Amino acid sequence: MIAVHLKGAFCVTQPAAKVMKENNYGRIIFTSSTSGLYGNFGQTNYGAAKLGVVGIMNTLKLEMAKYDVKVNTIAPTAWTRMTEDIIPEEMGKKVKAKFNVPLVVYLCSEDNQETGKTFVMGAGYYGRTAIVCAPGACLGDADRDIAVEEIRDNFAQIDSLENAEPANSGSDIFKYMAPLLS
């Protein structure tokens, strides 16, 4: 699973990215899965590989931005041999792979200026999904030890996704730490 879905994505992208960099233009679309984004019983190895592809996208979008290379990920849903045991046939007949094509074509077009985004789709539904970061709770003063009881007492705030925003890079979390770092 890792060799095919994660390393395979990396190995075909690396030479393509080199050419796109030389041409100062390109579009890269990775294929993830809702099994990686949200989980699916019995697909731990597949889900891990497919979420790893999102990790490649998250870094590659930053590295390729100055070359006008847009990097996005799709997580398509379709009735296939892999899903025929989990999608009922009546529903499966409506979840045709062809409905995933229009979004991919748009993301590959010059009109698309979005990068670093993940989209889910199926049966004509298209939507964005994201890894988000929320304000959480700032405890202590970035010097003193923090007691487990403080975590317990503030866990509702730590766990809340209220006012969560998509993260564009790992450094986005520093804005939430700002009160402790100043």
Q: Hey, what amino acid is at 133?
A: C
Backbone angles phi, psi at 86, to 5 degrees: -115, -15
DSSP secondary structure letters along 139-152 = -S-SSS---HHHHH
Q: What are phi and psi of 81, to 5 degrees?
A: -55, -35
Half-sphere exposure of 48 (CA within 13 A, CB side): 6
Q: How far apart are CA 70 and CA 107, in angstroms?
A: 8
Residues known to be catalytic: 46
Instruction: Report yes or no: 68 and 26 within 8 Å, Cβ to Cβ.
Output: yes
Rounded Cα distance, 136 and 150, in Å: 13
Q: What is the DSSP letter of 28?
A: E
